[in-house]
Chains A and B, each alone.
Chain A
Amino acid sequence: MMKTILKAKLPEMLEQLAKEYKVLVPAKLEGVSRFAAYRENLELALDENVTMPPKDIFFPQTEEMYKFAAKDQSLEIEEIPQDEKLQVIFGVRSCDMKSIDCLDQVFLTKGFSDPFYQDKRDRSILIALSCVKPMESCFCTSMGIDPQKGQGADIQAYDLGEKLAFEGITERGQEVLNKVSGMFAEEDAAIPPMGEFNLTANVEGVPEKLKNMFDHSIWDDISRKCLNCSACAYVCPTCHCFDIASEVRGEDGVKIRCWDCCMFDEYTVMAGGHQPRPGKKERVRNRFLHKLRYFPERYNMLLCTGCGRCVVKCPVNLDITNVIKKIKEA
């Protein structure tokens, strides 16, 4: 037996939840789909995955870290209080659920927990949404992901066509469902089978093979057309590099962190001018090695979830599935 609701009734359910939680939903805003705070008449984007991944919910594109004031020799540092409200994130696809696992590895393990990330993560209740029809650029199953089961979800939602079904997984998820239990019907529902994938990639043995491919000529070839524009990293649900900078006005300032990208020259250049990754070949190589070799070495998982966003957004068609293919054939 599953809890089901007509899709037409979903706004009503979200409205109800928004009374208690901050509710984030996939929505179309100014032509781009992304997660946004639920409000009446918001155009939900449930037919396919959102263009912008959910990473900015936990790791905002720009985030204030602390304030400071400096005058003559004195300095004051003031921490910025965090929001305390629980947030329900509805409609996260399996690929993006896996990306949250990748981000958790980075921000919450290896001896240091990042308090800015952890705070938002701890306050989040995740409702995963199963897929029925892959988009042209999807290849999540190639990365070992089940498109109908989101890893780490508090609630799993299933797309049944006219209706949605909900399954509480964690206690926290169950609690959320209980708040709107009156809206659900209880019925046996068959989950529609997943459609055929247009794109695939065979990553078997790739991390191991890459151990001996640092100096391979393949990188000249792969990097040639790259523009170092960083679009791939910005839309990537797992890319997590950031810069820390100050915004200063007179004697006051705020320390911010913002998304950064390993495609940029400034990313690694040191005071004095030494540059460990001087050209785009070195930078493109680092990006793909990070995704397919370094991250697996460090965290035992790939840093790619097969969401296909970079495949769609790359202005020069630098397709990661094609890179994987070239590595396999090299």
Chain B
Amino acid sequence: MAVNVEDVKKINPLVPIKAKVTRIVQETPDVKTFHISTMDDQKPFDPMPGQLGMLSLPLVGEGMFSITNKGENHIEMALKEVGQLTKALHEIEVGQEVGIRGPYGNGFPIDYCKGKDLLIIGGGIGLAPVRSLIMHCIKNRDDFGKLTVVYGARSKSDLCFQEDLFENWTKVPNMDVFVTIDREEEGWDGHVGFVPAYVEELAPKPQVTVLCGPPIMIKFTLPSLQKMNFSDQDIITTLEMRMKCGIGKCGRCNIGSCYVCLDGPVFTMEQLKDLPPEY
């Protein structure tokens, strides 16, 4: 039996609904984007930018992933192959039936960002969670000020969402996209260098900065942002911890008294300062 969006609310939040993979995009050698719809071709649920979904291949396991975008009839998740489940997911083909539950977490503070110039910084697969925010800003272009995206990856082939970076987003009014790779390589005439240094070099003047990337990138980008005199509530990041339930019960994703699945994954620097550095 097909499940529609209304039914999701009535369903046990710990039991997934059946859904299907309708499209798979190979982003990089180890990242694929999966488009997921219900069996009757609807969105499994309606996530806010930055929220999470629990995706499962029940014979293998289930895992929490950020939702990178939503369409009329589907949601998208971009997954890097790192463990057992993501390896199995990378082997499936269009038409595969999967379990999905969600949406979980707080999402980005959209209302707070409205009318403001935004700097969005991503590193590697860290562009996946913030892409939902970028897509939201593009769809509602007039609600936000200038949009600046700075994105870096190890190499050209490791850049996710290349169609967005080099085509779609370059056509959006009042939006700049800056892309960098870690080391020089043949066929790349763009910027070379690490993200934190590139941000300092570009010296954008946004009102709010959103960043997501590997812990090392966040660690080195924060001092750059602090030099730019941001207040802590205008630096926003999205975190990752191991999760099982997604609804703040099972315990493992706590950072201090917060649960990343429920109170996060999006935190301001102001909030993070009050939490132990255990992530």
Contact, CB under 8 Å: B12 / A294: no
Of B57, B83, B215, B250, which one neighbours A271 at CB under 8 angstroms? B83
* B187, CB-defined interface residue at 8 Å: no
Which residues in B have their C-beta under 8 angstroms from that of A19?
none
Residue of B nearest to A113 (CB): B13
Which residues in B have their C-beta under 8 angstroms from that of A243?
244, 250
A68-B99, A114-B249 in contact; A79/B15 too (CB < 8 A)?
yes
In the complex the two chains form, what is the Cα distance from A253 to B56 in whole Å?
Answer: 13
Among A59-83, those with CB < 8 Å from B are 65-66, 68, 70, 73-77, 79
Which residues in A have their C-beta under 8 angstroms from that of B257?
293-295, 297-298
* A316, CB-defined interface residue at 8 Å: no
Contact, CB under 8 Å: A214 / B83: no
* B85, CB-defined interface residue at 8 Å: yes
* B188, CB-defined interface residue at 8 Å: no
A241-B251, A272-B83 in contact; A286/B278 too (CB < 8 A)?
yes
Which residues in A have their C-beta under 8 angstroms from that of B14?
65, 114-116, 244, 257
Interface string of B232-245 (1 = CB under 8 A from A): 00000000111011
Interface-lining segment among A103-111, A121-129, A182-190: A103-111
Which residues in B have their C-beta under 8 angstroms from that of A255?
58
Which residues in B have their C-beta under 8 angstroms from that of A295?
257
Residue of B nearest to A298 (CB): B257
In the complex the two chains form, what is the Cα distance from A246 to B252 in whole Å?
Answer: 18
Q: How far, in Å, is B78 (CB) from chain A's closest CB? A: 15
In the complex the two chains form, what is the Cα distance from A12 to B254 in whole Å?
Answer: 48
A290-B254, A294-B256 in contact; A242/B245 too (CB < 8 A)?
yes
Q: How far, in Å, is B226 (CB) from chain A's closest CB? A: 21
* B262, CB-defined interface residue at 8 Å: yes
Which residues in A have their C-beta under 8 angstroms from that of B241?
268, 270, 276
* B82, CB-defined interface residue at 8 Å: yes
Among A222-261, those with CB < 8 Å from B are 240-246, 248, 251, 253, 255, 257, 260
A75-B18, A114-B249, A240-B249 in contact; A70/B93 too (CB < 8 A)?
no
* B269, CB-defined interface residue at 8 Å: no
Interface string of B24-63 (1 = CB under 8 A from A): 0000000000000000000000000000000001111111
* B98, CB-defined interface residue at 8 Å: yes
Q: How far, in Å, is B278 (CB) from chain A's closest CB? A: 5
A75-B97, A110-B262, A294-B256 in contact; A115/B249 too (CB < 8 A)?
no
* B192, CB-defined interface residue at 8 Å: no
* B86, CB-defined interface residue at 8 Å: yes
* A56, CB-defined interface residue at 8 Å: no
* B206, CB-defined interface residue at 8 Å: no
Q: List 19 A-B contacts (CB under 8 A).
A: A76-B18, A77-B15, A77-B16, A112-B249, A112-B262, A115-B14, A241-B250, A241-B252, A242-B249, A244-B14, A244-B62, A244-B250, A255-B58, A257-B14, A262-B251, A271-B85, A276-B241, A289-B256, A298-B257
Residues of B within 8 A of A (CB): 12-18, 57-63, 82-86, 92-93, 95-99, 215, 240-242, 244-245, 247-252, 254-257, 262, 276, 278-279
